[in-house]
C-alpha cells in the first residue's frame, strides 16, 4: 500500500498531485489502505480470532463491509500513474 499509493512515485494516484491538498489526499488515502491491512486484515490472517458475541460481531462485520466499500470506491476513482 505504501508503494502503490506513494505521493512521489505512485502506481495508482487519486488526482494530479500538484497542489498540497492533492498530495495530502494521496498520502491520507495511502495510510488508510495501509492501516486497514495492519488493523483489520492482519490479525485475522495471522491469529485465531474467537467470536464471542454473534450480535456484536455481525454488527462489526457490517461496519467493516461499509468501510471496505469506501476503499473500493477510492480505487475505482484512481488511475495508473504516468510518473
pLDDT tens, position by position, for the chain (83 residues)?
999 999 999 999 999 999 999 999 999 999 999 999 888 876 666 667 676 776 677 888 899 999 999 999 999 999 999 86
Q: For residue 38, what pLDDT is reported?
A: 87
Task: Confirm whether 60 is domain-assigned.
Answer: yes
* 53 CA to centre of own chain: 27
> Which residue in the block uniquely carries the three cell numbers 495501509?
34
Task: Confirm whether 4 is domain-assigned.
Answer: no
Task: Confirm whether 3 is domain-assigned.
Answer: no
Task: Confirm whether 22 is domain-assigned.
Answer: yes
Q: For residue 61, what pLDDT is reported?
A: 85
> Which residue in the block uniquely carries the three cell numbers 477510492?
74
Task: Confirm whether 26 is domain-assigned.
Answer: yes
Q: What is the pTM of this model?
A: 0.80
C-alpha grid cell, residue 48: 485465531
Question: Domain tally for the chain?
Answer: 1
Q: For residue 42, what pLDDT is reported?
A: 63
Domain that holds residue 63: 12-80
Amino acid at each position: 500500500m505504501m508503494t502503490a499509493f506513494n505521493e512521489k512515485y505512485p502506481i495508482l494516484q487519486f488526482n494530479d498531485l500538484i497542489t498540497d491538498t492533492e498530495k495530502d489526499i494521496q498520502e491520507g488515502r495511502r495510510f488508510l489502505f495501509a492501516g486497514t491491512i495492519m488493523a483489520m486484515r492482519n490479525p485475522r490472517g495471522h491469529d485465531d480470532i474467537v467470536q464471542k458475541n454473534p450480535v456484536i460481531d455481525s454488527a462489526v462485520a457490517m461496519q467493516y463491509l461499509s468501510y471496505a466499500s469506501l476503499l473500493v470506491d477510492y480505487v475505482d476513482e484512481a488511475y495508473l500513474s504516468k510518473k
